[in-house]
C-alpha cells in the first residue's frame, strides 16, 4: 500500500504543537505495523526546517521533481527535496523560498496562498513522488485539506484511484480566507456553496476537505462525538453531523519519551523501580533553584498558551498554591496576557511558581519527567499528547475530562474534573495533593498503571490501516 501524508508540520523539522509530533511519528508507525507499507510525508521547506536539518548535518537529495503552480498573477515553482531515513518514512520537503523561507511557520498575510500552493503542487506530483499512484493521500488539518478536495475534483484524472483521508487535529483552525482565492484554489465556483467550500461568503479550506475527502477522522473518539454538538463544533457541528467521523486516538513516540533513557532528563526508572524519578525531580528543582522537598508536590505545565488550554484557571489559583501546598513550574508561549500572568506569578510568588516563557523541547522533557503531576485544564482537547508523555514517564495527569483527555486519563492513572472552572480545577488538585501526601501507595500504583500502559502508535496505526483498506 502506498500512503502519502501531507501536512504543514512534521517533527523534528517543523513543529508548533501536537500536529508536528503526530505527523513525525504516525508514518513510521504505519511502516512498523505492516510489511509492504510504503509511506512518505510532504511538508514545506520552511526556514526553521532548513535550520533543523543544518543543525543535524543532514543534506537533502534533489529529486528533480518540480511543480509550476498558477497563483493568479504569478507562477510559483516548487521543487521537491528528499530526506531518506533507514527503515523510516521518506520525508519530502516542498521548496519554494518565496513562500516558505521566512521566520515562523504561520501568521503571514498570505497563508492562504502558501498552503493552496502546497496542496496544488503536491497533488500534481504525488504519483512521481511515490513512484506510482498513491493508494491513500492522508491530509492533516486545514493546511492540507484542499488536497483531498482537489483529488475529488480537478485532479481526479491525474489520480483516478487515490482515496483521501482528512484528519481534524483541531477544529478551532479552519483556514478561512477571502473568496478572491477561489479562482487560484483549483476548486471551481460550483464548489463555493454551503455544502462545500463556502463559509459565510468566504473560502473555507477545511470545509472543502470535510465535504470531499473519502474519510474524515479526528484524533480521539470523545472529540469525534463532541464536535457534532454546538458546544464543541466551532460552528461546523451541523455540517459534521451529516458526515461519518472516525475517532482514532493518537499514540506517542515511545523512543522519544522513554524513562529508561532520555538524554534531556537525569535518572532512569521503570514501573518496577521508580526510584530514578527522584533524580529527575531533584534536577528540575535545581534548575528552578528550589530546595528539593518531597513533601510538597510539584505541578507542571507544558503548553501553548491559548484560551483552549484553560491556563487562566491555573493563573487564578496561584495565590492558593502555598496553602494547598504545591509548587508550580510553567513552560509555554502564546497569548501575551497569559504569558504576562505567569511572569507576574513567578515574580510575586517566587517560593511557589517558576515560569519559562519559551518553546524549549529539552526543558519540556525536564518538566514532564521531573514534576509529580501535570496540569491540563483544557476547555477542549482534540487528543492531547502531553498527558500521555506524562503517564509514560510516571507523572500523574490532572485533567478536565474532555476529548482525548477523557479517553486517556481514568481514575487508575490520574485525576479529572467535569467543569472547566477554577473550583473544578481546585477540587482535582486537592484530590491529587491529598493522595500524594497521605496515600503514597495509591500514588505509586497509579504511576505503575500509567507506565505499564502501551501508549505507542502500534494500536492507532492498525486502526488507520484498517480504515485505509476499507476505502
Ligand atoms: P497542542 O497540539 O494542542 O498544542 P498537544 O498536547 O497535542 O497539544 O501537543 C503539544 C506538543 O507541543 C507537545 O509535544 C508538547 O510537549 C509541545 N510543547 C508545547 N509547548 C511547548 C513549549 N513551550 N516548549 C516545548 N514544547 C512544547
Ligand atoms: C491539535 C490538538 C491536540 C492534539 C494534536 C495532535 O493540536 O489541539 O489536542 O493532540 O492536534 O493531534
- How sure is the predictor about 24, in pLDDT bands with cuts at 50, 70 and 90? very high
Sign, CA torsion 128/98/20/405: negative
Closest to 119 measured CA to CA, from 75, 69, 62, 50: 69
Residue nearest (by alpha carbon) to ligand 2 atom 10: 384
Quote the DSSP letter at residue 350.
T
- Tell me the CA–centroid distance for residue 302 and ligand 1, in Å: 6
pLDDT recorded at residue 48: 97
Residue nearest (by alpha carbon) to ligand 1 atom 19: 303
73-81, Cβ contacts within 8 angstroms, sequence gap of 24 or more: 76/117, 76/121, 78/117, 78/118, 78/121, 80/42, 80/125, 80/129, 81/45
pLDDT recorded at residue 321: 98
Q: Are strands 298-305 and 373-376 parallel, antiparallel or unpaired?
A: parallel
CB atoms under 10 Å from CB of 65, counted, come to 17
Average pLDDT on 315-322 reads 98
pLDDT recorded at residue 92: 98
Query: Distance (Å, rounded) from C-alpha 207 to C-alpha 172?
Result: 12
- Tell me the CA–centroid distance for residue 21 and ligand 2, in Å: 9
Q: Identify whether the C-beta of residue 30 lies closer than 8 Å to the C-beta of residue 464.
A: yes
> Angle at CA 249, nearest 5°, toward 247 and 255?
155
Query: Distance (Å, rounded) from C-alpha 450 to C-alpha 322?
Result: 28
Please provide residue 70's backbone torsions phi and psi, each rounded to the nearest 5 degrees: -80, 120
pLDDT recorded at residue 297: 98
Spell out a b/e string for 424-461, using b for 16 or more CB atoms within 10 Å of the CB, else e.
bbbebbeebbebbeeeeeebeebbbebbeeebbbeebb
Q: Are strands 176-178 and 202-204 parallel, antiparallel or unpaired?
A: antiparallel
Q: Where are the beta strands (DSSP E) in 115-250?
A: 136-140, 163-168, 176-178, 198-199, 202-204, 215-218, 245-247
Ligand 2 pocket mutation pick from 9, 247, 382, 389 by most atoms within 8 angstroms of CB: 382
pTM: 0.97
Residue nearest (by alpha carbon) to ligand 1 atom 20: 303
pLDDT recorded at residue 236: 97
Q: Which residues make Cβ contacts (< 8 Å) with residue 128, sequence separation at least 6?
A: 63, 65
- Tell me the CA–centroid distance for residue 131 and ligand 2, in Å: 31
CA of 223, closest atom in ligand 2:
9
- Tell me the CA–centroid distance for residue 350 and ligand 1, in Å: 25
- How sure is the predictor about 331, in pLDDT bands with cuts at 50, 70 and 90? very high
Average pLDDT on 222-243 reads 97
pLDDT recorded at residue 87: 87
Q: Which residues line ligand 2 (CB under 6 A)?
A: 17-19, 22, 169-170, 219, 250, 381-385, 404
CA of 16, closest atom in ligand 1:
12
Q: Which ligand is nearest to the CA of 365?
A: 1
Closest to 154 measured CA to CA, from 186, 125, 197, 124: 186
Q: Which ligand is nearest to the CA of 376?
A: 1
Residue nearest (by alpha carbon) to ligand 1 atom 17: 17
pLDDT at residue 74 is higher than 90: yes
Domains and CATH numbers, the chain: 2-251+458-470 (3.40.50.2000), 277-454 (3.40.50.2000)
pLDDT at residue 196 is higher than 90: yes
pLDDT at residue 86 is higher than 90: no
- Tell me the CA–centroid distance for residue 179 and ligand 2, in Å: 28
CA separation (Å) from 31 to 1, 14, 202? 10, 21, 39
Mean pLDDT over the full length of the chain: 97
Give tens-digit pLDDT for 115-157. 999 999 999 999 999 999 999 999 999 999 999 999 999 999 9
CA of 382, closest atom in ligand 2:
9
In the numeric block, which cell numbers belong to residue 251?
499514540
Q: Are strands 198-199 and 202-204 parallel, antiparallel or unpaired?
A: antiparallel
Average pLDDT on 325-345 reads 98
Q: Which residues line ligand 1 (CB under 6 A)?
A: 17-19, 21, 302-304, 331-333, 359-361, 364, 383-386
Query: Distance (Å, rounded) from C-alpha 457 to C-alpha 27?
Result: 10
Average pLDDT on 219-241 reads 97
Ligand 1 pocket mutation pick from 10, 16, 21, 23 by most atoms within 8 angstroms of CB: 21
Q: Which ligand is nearest to the CA of 303?
A: 1
Q: Which residues make Cβ contacts (< 8 Å) with residue 336, sequence separation at least 6?
A: none
- Tell me the CA–centroid distance for residue 130 and ligand 2, in Å: 27
Residue nearest (by alpha carbon) to ligand 1 atom 18: 303
DSSP-assigned beta bridge partners for residue 4: 40, 137
- Tell me the CA–centroid distance for residue 145 and ligand 2, in Å: 16
Amino acid at each position: 500500500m502506498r500512503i502519502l501524508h501531507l501536512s504543514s508540520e512534521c517533527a523534528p523539522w517543523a513543529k508548533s504543537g501536537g500536529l508536528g509530533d503526530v505527523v513525525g511519528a504516525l508514518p513510521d508507525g504505519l511502516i512498523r505495523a505492516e510489511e509492504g507499507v510504503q509511506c512518505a510525508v510532504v511538508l514545506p521547506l520552511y526556514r526553521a526546517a532548513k535550520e533543523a536539518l543544518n543543525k543535524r548535518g543532514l543534506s537533502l537529495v534533489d529529486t528533480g521533481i518540480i511543480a509550476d503552480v498558477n497563483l493568479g498573477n504569478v507562477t510559483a515553482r516548487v521543487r521537491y527535496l528528499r530526506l531518506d531515513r533507514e527503515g523510516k518514512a521518506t520525508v519530502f520537503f516542498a521548496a519554494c523560498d518565496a513562500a516558505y523561507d521566512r521566520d515562523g511557520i504561520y501568521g503571514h498575510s498570505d497563508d492562504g496562498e502558501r498552503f493552496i500552493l502546497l496542496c496544488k503542487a503536491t497533488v500534481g506530483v504525488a504519483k512521481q513522488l511515490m513512484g506510482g499512484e498513491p493508494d491513500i493521500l492522508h491530509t492533516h488539518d486545514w493546511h492540507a485539506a484542499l488536497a483531498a478536495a482537489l483529488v475529488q475534483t480537478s485532479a481526479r484524472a491525474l489520480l483516478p484511484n487515490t482515496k483521501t483521508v482528512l484528519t481534524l487535529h483541531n477544529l478551532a483552525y479552519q483556514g478561512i480566507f477571502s473568496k478572491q482565492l477561489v479562482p487560484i484554489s483549483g476548486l471551481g465556483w460550483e464548489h463555493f456553496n454551503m455544502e462545500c467550500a463556502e463559509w459565510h461568503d468566504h473560502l473555507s479550506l477545511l470545509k472543502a476537505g470535510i465535504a470531499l475527502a473519502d474519510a474524515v477522522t479526528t484524533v480521539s473518539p470523545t472529540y469525534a462525538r463532541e464536535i457534532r454538538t454546538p458546544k464543541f463544533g466551532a460552528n461546523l457541528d451541523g455540517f459534521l453531523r451529516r458526515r461519518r467521523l472516525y475517532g482514532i486516538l493518537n499514540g506517542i513516540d515511545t523512543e522519544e519519551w522513554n524513562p529508561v533513557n532520555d538524554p534531556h532528563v537525569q535518572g532512569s526508572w521503570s514501573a518496577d523501580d521508580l526510584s530514578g524519578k527522584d533524580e529527575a525531580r531533584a534536577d528540575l528543582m535545581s534548575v528552578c533553584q528550589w530546595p528539593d522537598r518531597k513533601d510538597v508536590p510539584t505541578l507542571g505545565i507544558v503548553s501553548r498558551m491559548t484560551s483552549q488550554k484553560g491556563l487562566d484557571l491555573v493563573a487564578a489559583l496561584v495565590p492558593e498554591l502555598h496553602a494547598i501546598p504545591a509548587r508550580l513550574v510553567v513552560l509555554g508561549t502564546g497569548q501575551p496576557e497569559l504569558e504576562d500572568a505567569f511572569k507576574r506569578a513567578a515574580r510575586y510568588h517566587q517560593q511557589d511558581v517558576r515560569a519559562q516563557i519559551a518553546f524549549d523541547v529539552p526543558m519540556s522533557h525536564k518538566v514532564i519527567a521531573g514534576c509529580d503531576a501535570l496540569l491540563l485544564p483544557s476547555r477542549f482537547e482534540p487528543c492531547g499528547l502531553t498527558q500521555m508523555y506524562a503517564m509514560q514517564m510516571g507523572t500523574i495527569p490532572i485533567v478536565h475530562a474532555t476529548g482525548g483527555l477523557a479517553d486517556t486519563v481514568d481514575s487508575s492513572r490520574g485525576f479529572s474534573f467535569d467543569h472547566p472552572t477554577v473550583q473544578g480545577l481546585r477540587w482535582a488538585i486537592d484530590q491529587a495533593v491529598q493522595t500524594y501526601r497521605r496515600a503514597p501507595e495509591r500514588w505509586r500504583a497509579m504511576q505503575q498503571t500509567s507506565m505499564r500502559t502501551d501508549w505507542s502508535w502500534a494500536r492507532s496505526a492498525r486502526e488507520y490501516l484498517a480504515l485505509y483498506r476499507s476505502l
